[in-house]
Amino acid sequence: METHSSLVALLAWRAQTQPDERAYIFLSDRGTEEAVLTFRELHDAAQALAAQIAQTAQPGDRALLVFPAGLEFIVAFFGCLIARVIAVPMMAPRRLSARDSSAAILRDCEPRIALTSQAFLSRDDLRGRFAGLPLQWLAVGLDSDKPTTIDRSAPAPQDIAFLQYTSGSTSEPKGVTVSHANLLANLEMIRLSLGNNKQSTYVNWVPLYHDMGLILNTLQALYVGALCVLMAPNAFMQRPLNWLRAIGQYRAEVGCGPNFGFDLCVSRYRAEQMEGIDLSTWRIALNGAEPVQAETIRRFSETFEPHGFNPAATFPAYGMAEATLLISGGRRGAGPAMRSVSSRALQSHSAQAPVDDSDAQLLVGCGKALAGEQIAIVDPDLCRRLRFDQVGEIWVSGPNVSRAYWENAAATEAGLNARLMNEDSDARWLRTGDLGFLDESGELFITGRIKDLIVVRGINHYPQDIERHVQALHPAFRQNCGAAFSVTDEHGESALVIVQEIERTERNRIDPVEMSGLIREAVANEHELYARHVVLIRPGTLPKTTSGKIQRSLTRRLWLDRRLDELTASAS
């Protein structure tokens, strides 16, 4: 693989060696090709935009990237890199949303300019959200005149390429500084793990402001010189089988998404809509960005194997913004590693064989450490490495790990520069905040997040286990749309709260009191816990991150403030 000092140098090389090959295609909601960029067209458009940016912003200034789905985002991203302006990808602010994170991001990074599409630029509601800020707005298109050179040196490997704001599943979003060196290191790690090359066409629906959409799909395709086919996230949510249709149409090898995306494909499956779709070229069905469920893998494989899908293409993985993206992954064609463990032993932070079937819990492995990287399982209080099959905090060290949060020295020192006790190495470690264990082979299994852990009478309970059990009780309970957490009651003891969305088609058919009782009885029988508060809420109102992770801490705050959109609530 050709080595480069930055993504700018990589793009220039692709434009020189593969000038007329199609780099990116954007599909309309109907699946037709709406826009196309070759490697040379992307380079020329980004170079022209960089000249515009340089008239307003200096190297090191921040630029917001606020775009609808499309290829303009990619031009804007590379335009910023060429101009040595730090890109800040951000989801377009939601209309009238009280939980929008844009205000926190703006306060943190203090952007100088904002880039968007011409259509978005004309929206009064969008501009109004940024009123009062000294922002220079630029509209980005795909066409370019002859590129204009700018009088700026090429970025160095340690220069910040962009700020990736964390999803904020348990806290306020923080800006992870991602350097060109971080990006190139992780892109090479991804290439080696996935086994991709120029023929590894991608089809992606994950939004580009999310690190999975940007790095694992868009930038990784450019890194190996492959075609990347993009579709709008909303188009996928409305017609998820169109993703599979595009994979078949373009003979794609790689299609990545969070766990809920695979569930959605199964729930919307219609045999007649899959007629003629051949998934036999799909080599990497990467499942990441949220907890990977064994049942999801089973259902997806059974549903789509008749259409050519190879279950061995299933590729569970684990990553986070602080590690640029990917932390662990499997091997192409190896399929998922699964392990049955004791639910009761997990409550004591130990991975052991189940005593009987009622004690069994099936966990999905998320692969092994990538090339040039280390993963350790650590006691979070003592900062001491644990042995295999012991559950602790996941720590990561490698060239892909960011060295700083933007303008946040305290969080940087605590979270990105941790040291292991009783070890002489000078290695600095990322504390992920996630819980998991390594088996003897080095396979990583994720069990939950430290801050989400529910501790009642000294026993640890993982909220996702309670949530999954609740959602299996009745068709009225929406899948992947519940949150379990604890609060302190008036006696200073932990009390369990369960918040659950109700399906839109069921909310007028159910008896809320009966549903609350059903939840309480099941949780008591299965988990030996009493659900003090059961809250049923309207569909689409549970707080989630951009990748679909449940924001349990935010849900807890909203419940305490009585700001959940309740269908009904029941408390004893």
Spatial distance between the Cα atoms of 544 and 546, rounded to a whole number of angstroms = 7
* Helix runs in 334-434, H state only: 343-346, 409-416
- Inter-residue contact 508 to 544 (CB < 8 Å): no
The conformation of residue 216, written as its DSSP 8-state character, comes to I
- Residue 212 inside a domain? The answer is no
The answer for residues whose C-beta is within 8 angstroms of residue 347's C-beta and 6 or more apart is 459, 460, 461
Give residue 572's pLDDT. Answer: 44
- Residue 70 inside a domain? The answer is no
Of 396, 392, 376, nearest to 322 (Cα)?
396
* Helix runs in 29-84, H state only: 39-54, 72-83
Q: Tokens 């079937």 — which residue?
A: 357
Give residue 146's pLDDT. Answer: 66
Q: Are residues 458 and 445 in the same domain?
A: no
Neighbours of 132 (CB within 10 A): 6
Q: Are residues 439 and 495 in the same domain?
A: no
Give residue 65's pLDDT. Answer: 95
Q: Are residues 487 and 438 in the same domain?
A: no
The beta strands (E) that lie in 365-425 are given as 368-369, 374-379, 384-385, 392-397
- Residue 166 inside a domain? The answer is no
- Strands 360-364 and 374-379, bridge-based pairing: unpaired
Q: What is the pTM of this model?
A: 0.83
Q: Are residues 432 and 480 in the same domain?
A: no
Paired tokens of 380: 């979070």
Q: Are residues 353 and 371 in the same domain?
A: yes
- Total domains present in the chain: 2
Spatial distance between the Cα atoms of 479 and 263, rounded to a whole number of angstroms = 9
Q: Are residues 381 and 435 in the same domain?
A: yes
Q: Are residues 349 and 440 in the same domain?
A: yes
Q: How far apart are the first and last CA of the chain?
A: 63
Please give the helix or strand (H or E) that residue 23 lies within, else none: strand 22-27
Spatial distance between the Cα atoms of 209 and 60, rounded to a whole number of angstroms = 20
Paired tokens of 373: 């990287």
- Residue 541 inside a domain? The answer is yes
* Helix runs in 291-430, H state only: 294-304, 343-346, 409-416
Q: Are residues 355 and 392 in the same domain?
A: yes
Looking up residue 377, the CATH number of its domain turns out to be: 2.30.38.10
- Inter-residue contact 406 to 415 (CB < 8 Å): no
Give residue 170's pLDDT. Answer: 46
Paired tokens of 507: 């909310």
Q: What are phi and psi of 478, to 5 degrees?
A: -65, 135
Paired tokens of 543: 């707080």
Neighbours of 147 (CB within 10 A): 18
| Edge-to-edge strand ranges of the sheet holding 531-537 | 477-488, 494-502, 531-537, 566-571
Q: Are residues 560 and 491 in the same domain?
A: yes
- Residue 6 inside a domain? The answer is no
Spatial distance between the Cα atoms of 314 and 294, rounded to a whole number of angstroms = 11
Q: Are residues 423 and 364 in the same domain?
A: yes
Paired tokens of 106: 């703006």
Give residue 147's pLDDT. Answer: 64
485: β partners: 497
Q: What are phi and psi of 326, to 5 degrees?
A: -80, 135
- Residue 311 inside a domain? The answer is no
The answer for residues whose C-beta is within 8 angstroms of residue 539's C-beta and 6 or more apart is 478, 481, 501, 502, 503, 504, 507
Q: Are residues 445 and 460 in the same domain?
A: no
Give residue 262's pLDDT. Answer: 93
- Residue 515 inside a domain? The answer is yes
Torsional sign, CA 160, 143, 253, 21? negative
Spatial distance between the Cα atoms of 161 and 186, rounded to a whole number of angstroms = 13
Q: What is the mean pLDDT of each run of 10 residues along the chain (572 residues)?
A: 87 95 94 94 94 93 93 96 96 58 83 89 70 82 74 89 76 86 96 95 93 94 97 91 95 93 91 93 91 90 96 95 94 92 88 90 94 95 94 96 94 91 85 93 90 73 87 90 84 81 86 89 85 89 78 87 73 44
Spatial distance between the Cα atoms of 75 and 60, rounded to a whole number of angstroms = 19
- Residue 469 inside a domain? The answer is yes
Looking up residue 518, the CATH number of its domain turns out to be: 3.30.300.30
CA dihedral 289, 367, 445, 176 (to 10 degrees): -40
Give residue 317's pLDDT. Answer: 95
- Inter-residue contact 35 to 25 (CB < 8 Å): yes
Buried b (16+ CB within 10 A) or exposed e, 513-531: eebbebbbebbeeebebeb
Domain residue limits at 370: 338-400+418-449
C-alpha distances in angstroms, 46 versus 41, 75, 153, 331, 441? Answer: 8, 5, 16, 35, 45
Q: Are residues 484 and 537 in the same domain?
A: yes
**CA–CA–CA angle 476, 558, 124 (5° rounding):** 95
